[in-house]
Amino acid sequence: MVAFLTKKRYNIRMLPSDHSERAMRRAYWHLLLREQGHRLTSGRLAVVDCLLSSERVLTAQDIFEQARHDHSDLGLVSVYRTLETLEELGLVERVHQAQGCHAYIAVAGGHRHLLLCEQCGRATHFAGDELEALMRLVENQTQYRIHQHWLQLSGVCPQCQRSGT
Ligand SMILES: [Zn+2]
Ligand SMILES: [Zn+2]
């Protein structure tokens, strides 16, 4: 099943919402790791599973604590190394927060941006940014040629609004 999965054909749309989609993403991550010469150790697989099953942003410490339940031999250093590898492969992104950029989330496919709950860490991706006009304006003001942008929004999610905390 893994053999026919390619980056091009497998278009990741949103955070994993059901089991089959999560299984597809997991297979794709495993394939990409192997292709890039990374062995699928049980520790790496545990980190991958934590990230793919989380709706919230996770720090290395969060992942370490979750994964340690099933992998008592997992070390914090190998969690950091695996996160680095996954970031290099473009599978996870670092999340900007007031206390620093120490948390990670699985990336969404296509051109999407992150919306983060400041209270519970829940992460949602959204499409659409309407930044073209702004970028042209900034180009005119600064004489730069702008190639890229980085956008992340934060606020309070509906669940946290309801619980009134
Ligand atoms: Zn929340
Ligand atoms: Zn954008």
Domains with residue ranges and CATH for the chain: 2-163 (1.10.10.10)
- Residues with Cβ < 8 Å from 128, sequence gap 6 or more? none
User: Between vectors from CA 93 to CA 90 and to CA 94, what angle results, nearest 5°?
Assistant: 145
pLDDT tens digit sequence for 18-39: 678 888 999 999 999 999 999 9
Taking the centre of ligand 1 as the mean of its atom positions, its distance from the CA of residue 32, in whole angstroms, is 32
H-helix or E-strand containing 127? strand 123-127
Average pLDDT (119-139) is 93
The pLDDT value recorded for residue 92 is 95
Question: How high does pLDDT run on average in the chain?
Answer: 87
Q: Is the pLDDT of residue 102 over 80?
A: yes
Taking the centre of ligand 2 as the mean of its atom positions, its distance from the CA of residue 48, in whole angstroms, is 26
Pseudo-torsion of CA 91, 57, 128, 17, nearest 10°? 80
Taking the centre of ligand 1 as the mean of its atom positions, its distance from the CA of residue 64, in whole angstroms, is 22
Taking the centre of ligand 2 as the mean of its atom positions, its distance from the CA of residue 22, in whole angstroms, is 25
Average pLDDT (74-89) is 95
The Cα 49–Cα 28 span in angstroms is: 12
The pLDDT value recorded for residue 120 is 93
pLDDT band for position 94 (cuts 50, 70, 90) = very high
Which stretches does DSSP call E strand in 15-82? 58-59
Average pLDDT (2-14) is 40
